[in-house]
Every structure is written in structure tokens, then in C-alpha cells.
Chain A
């Protein structure tokens, strides 16, 4: 009972914080709009430029930030639970570097990049998925299927290989393209229009519903492989399906936001320290923490400077790490 209350309070506070940061985010930028003006805009009054800035640029960006933060956190959580390794994150499966290679090839080879807005994220998604499939294929063995440790190790090794290939490619890039790719890799939310959200949403909804329906199964992973097996859970199969769902979530996110690695790593660990190991509690809490952390980082980034783009992934770590250390020291587990 107390856990329920604690969870509800945390979620409530997080939602309020998300709303507050969203409002601040809405009002900051190259064109500053006062809070009362934006209230007017929401009521349907205001100048044309103002409403364009708010509705067509800032609102979709905020929505995407919230969605991506949520998705990355859940994906990280699923991976950590299914592998029972607190260091695991979807970026270790080659998702970021795979998407990076695809983006880089696209920028280097395709001349007319503005032809279709969706080309770049689609390429990134394809790159992310192909590289993950390669990781899966190499960690699969007939007798044992995919074991957690083999997958993580193969994933780390292969994603290092992908990064190396990527660096080899960067030597061929012009400085501007190089800058773009590097900022992309450090994580910058750039897909900021409602069309992108429409593209994201179906993937997110399907994967999230699936993952949340498997909360009980995720709990059994905590008991260790043997106990779970004796409870009648087919761990090998469940693990692969759940990881596949996490990979899709992360791949889709990365295609729009670049490689934001830290969220998936830190928020599940935070959530576990705060609320414990039950997935009906930790999943939703890590998701909410992810949304808030990413939105906060984006807002702080905009407040520091509207001209130099500090990648949001950088700010996520600068804000998130000290808080994480604080929780680490304070919690009793």
C-alpha cells in the first residue's frame, strides 16, 4: 500500500515538473514569447508568426522530447531486466552506431537531402535495425539460443566495430558534414514537426502496450533463469521478444533524436532505487523520469543559449549524473 502511494506521489510530482518545464520550454527560444501571450495563443488569439512558432515548431518538439525520453527509458529498463545487468542499455546493441553509419553514408552519398524530410530518419532506423539484427545473429547459438552475457558482450564488441567503421568514414567527410554527424551522434532533437510524431506513434504504442503487458514476465527475470524456468516461463523466447521490442523503441527514438545514451542507462537504475524491483512500479517510473530528464535537458539547453546548439545528450548527462549519484548515496539498498 505504501509503495502505491509513493509511486503515485512520484508520478504526480514528475507530471507537474514535466508540465512546468514544457511551459518554460514553450516560451524560450530565439523568439521569446511571454507566458500570458502563449496562454492567449492557446485560446486562439495572437499573431500569425507567434502561433506558427508555438504550434508548428515548439509544441511538436516538446511532444517528441517527452515521447523519446519515455521510450528510451523503457527500452533501457527492459534490457537491464532481461539481462539482469545494471550496465545494459540499448546503445550497447549497436543501435546508435549503426544508425550513425547509415546517417553518415546518407549525408556523404545523397546530394539532394532535402527532397524528402523522412529520408534521414528512415535511413537511421534501417541502420539501427540492421546493426542490431547482426548483433542478434552473432550471439545466437543453436544449443543455447541467445544468452544474456553473450548478447551483451557481442553487442559491445560489434558496436565498437561499427564506431570504428564510422570513424574511418568521418575522415572522408567535409568539416560541416562532420559537425552535423557528431552533433547528431551526441544526441540532438531535430525531427520537430507533427508528421514525425505521427510516424513515431504507431511504433511506440504497439511496443509499449506489448512491454507493459509483459510486466509479470519481466518480474520473473529477477528470480534468475532457473527459478523462472521452473515457474513455466519460456525465458529464451520471452527474452528475445522483449529485447526486440526494446530495440524497436530505441531504434525509432534514435532515428529522430540521435544517440542519447544516458537516459536508458540511468533512469531504470534510478527508478529501482526509488521504488524497488516490481515492474508494475519501476517501468512507469523510469519512463516518467526519462521524459522529464530529456525535457529538462532540452529546456536548460535552450535557456543557456539559443544560438550554439549544445547537444541535448550532453546536458542529460550533466544534469542526470549528479542526481543519480545523490540517489545512489542516499538509498539504502
Chain B
């Protein structure tokens, strides 16, 4: 009972923080606006006012995008860690980042004038291809997508695609263009992208929430799961499909942002324990918190230039992570 109270308190705090961060993100940026303008832009929108236009057409989609992407990346990290039983896993293991980067490199090299919406489509395809390859390899074995095979196949496939993109980038001389992508930037998220891709993320997040008790089972050995009458393969497969949707879309929108997926699930577990029914909602909120915060810092620290926000994420997230990991009483 006491732990339930503590949990509701933690969730409330995380929600409040998210709400505050969202408001601040909408208000602050390279173009200073007053709180009144923000209020008007939301409730009495006047398209003639340029400040309000900036808020509605640029900042709000960007902030909402950051929120969704943070939640998506963090949850897909949590899923990967459950499925592979490896605390170091994140969605990068399915080759998603590498596949997307590969397609993007090809786009930059051969069609440098392609629009952002099209490159996004291509990187979703790239993410899908490499995730499909990883699935294929691990299902060729009889052992029902065993965690080890998945980890190893994922490592090999992502290293392969990363190497090819690096090779192409060296030959075509576009290293510095890609470097920004690799460290992430949210600037490009528009309403068009948000309305097209956002619903997928939300649906996948809901699916993950409803399968969270099944995720708890994945920490058991394969034999014990079977003896409970559950089908491991279908749980794993559903979880992985969610990972592909969640992080495939996020990565294609903002680049290969490391760490959200790795760190946030651990932070959530330090706070609420190991029950996935609690871990998943906490992961969603913390992921959104961290990404929105990092995006806010990234565009206010050195305006009008943007610092790649993947860097901010690790500068903010890593010390906090290490603090929690070292705190007394936790089990890693």
C-alpha cells in the first residue's frame, strides 16, 4: 500500500515536471516571447501576429515531437532490455539506427536535394529493412528467438550497416553533415510529420502498456514461461514490432539519439522497482521529460545556434544516471 502511494506521488511529480517543461519550451527559444503571447497563441490564435505564428507553427509541433520521441525511445529501450535480458540493450540493437543512417547516407550522397519528408520515409524503410534482417537471422534458429542470438545478430547487422554508411561517407566526403544527424536534432519536426507519424507512436505506447504484465514474464527462463502456458515467441515478437515502430519513427525524425533508450528505463527501475506495470508509465514520462528538457537547453544555451541535443541528453542524463546507480540499496 505504501509503495502504491509512493508510486502515485512519483508519477504526479513526473507529470508536473513534464507540464512545466512543455510550457517553458513553448515560451523560450531563440525568439523571446512573453507568457501572454503564448496564452493568446493557444487560446485566441491570431495568424497575423508573427510571434504567435512562430509558436503555433514551429514551437508547438517541435515540443510535442520531442515529448513523443522521448517517450518512444525510452519505452523501446525498456522493451529491448526485457526481450534480450541484457541491461545494455537498446533499440540500436535491432539495427534500427544503423539502417536508418544507411538509407540517409545514400539519400545525402545520391539525391542531395531530397525533401525532409522524403528522407524521413527512406530512413523508416532503412530501419525496417535492418530490423527485418535481425528478425530473420534470429528466427532461423530453432530456439525461438533466444535473447543471445538476438543480441549477437543485432550487433552484427548494425555494425555492418554503420560501417557501410561510414565507408560511403568517407568516399563521398559528407562526414560532417551526418555527424549532426548522429547526435540528433529536433528542429525539423513539423505538423505534417507529427500528424502522420504521431498516432503510430501513441498506438504503440498503448499496446506496450497493455502487455506490460507479459513483459514481466520475459525475465523468467524460457521453460518457466512455457509451463505457465504462455507463448514466448508471440510475446517477444509483439514487443519487437513495437520497438520497430516506436524507435524506427523516432530515429528517422530526430537522428540516432543514444542514451534515452539505455538510461531512462534504468532510472525508472531505480525509482519504482522492477514491475513493468509501473516501469513502463514511468519510462514514458521520464523519457518525455528528459527529451523536452534537452531540447529546451539545446536551443536556448547558445542562440540562435542549436547544439546537437543528443549531446545535451548525455550531459544531463549521464550524471543523474550514475548518481542513481551508485545510490545505496539498488541491485545493479
A interface residues (Cβ-Cβ under 8 A, vs B): 85-88, 92, 138-139, 141, 147, 149-150, 152-154, 156-158, 160-161, 163-164, 167-168, 170, 175, 178-179, 182-183, 186, 261-262, 265-266, 269, 308-311, 313-318, 320-322, 324-325, 328-329
B207 adjacent to chain A (CB < 8 Å): no
Assembled-state Cα–Cα distance A329/B175 (Å): 34
- Verify B175–A160 contact, CB threshold 8 A: no
Please classify the interface of chain A as helix (H, G, I), strand (E, B), loop, or mixed, using the class held by over half of its residues: helix
Which of these, A160, A308, A328, contacts B153 with CB under 8 Å?
Answer: A328
Total number of residue pairs linking A and B with CB closer than 8 Å: 130
* CB 8 Å contact bits of B248-269 with A (1 = contact, 0 = none): 0000000000110011001000
With A86-B152, A328-B149 as contacts: A161 and B326 at CB distance below 8 Å? no
Contact yes or no, B88 A85, CB < 8 A: yes
Prevailing SS type, chain B contact patch: helix
Tell me the count of chain B residues lying within 8 A, CB to CB, of chain A: 47
Contact check, A325 vs B167: say whether CB atoms are below 8 A apart: no
Whether the Cβ atoms of B166 and A269 lie closer than 8 Å is no
Q: Which residues of B contact A182 (CB under 8 A)?
A: 175, 179
| 30 A/B residue pairs, CB under 8 Å, sorted by A | A85-B88, A86-B148, A86-B152, A87-B88, A149-B332, A153-B87, A154-B325, A157-B263, A157-B322, A160-B318, A161-B314, A161-B315, A168-B307, A168-B311, A175-B176, A178-B176, A183-B170, A186-B170, A310-B171, A311-B166, A311-B170, A313-B163, A314-B167, A317-B162, A318-B163, A318-B164, A318-B167, A321-B156, A321-B160, A322-B156
Query: Smallest CB–CB gap between B241 and chain A, Å?
Result: 22
Q: Is the CB of A141 within 8 A of B152?
A: no
B156 A87 Cβ-Cβ under 8 A: no
Residues on B with beta carbons closer than 8 Å to the beta carbon of A328:
137, 149, 152-153, 156
**A153 B332 Cβ-Cβ under 8 A:** yes
Closest to B143 in A: A333
In the assembled complex, B183 has its CB within 8 A of some CB on chain A: yes
User: B88 to A160, Cβ gap below 8 A?
Assistant: no
Known: A262-B159, A325-B156. A314 touches B170 (CB 8 A): yes
Q: Is A152 within 8 A of B164, CB to CB? A: no
- B152 / chain A contacts, CB cutoff of 8 Å: 86, 269, 324, 328
Smallest CB gap from B93: residue in A: A87
State in angstroms the CA–CA spacing of A164 and B307 once bound together. 11
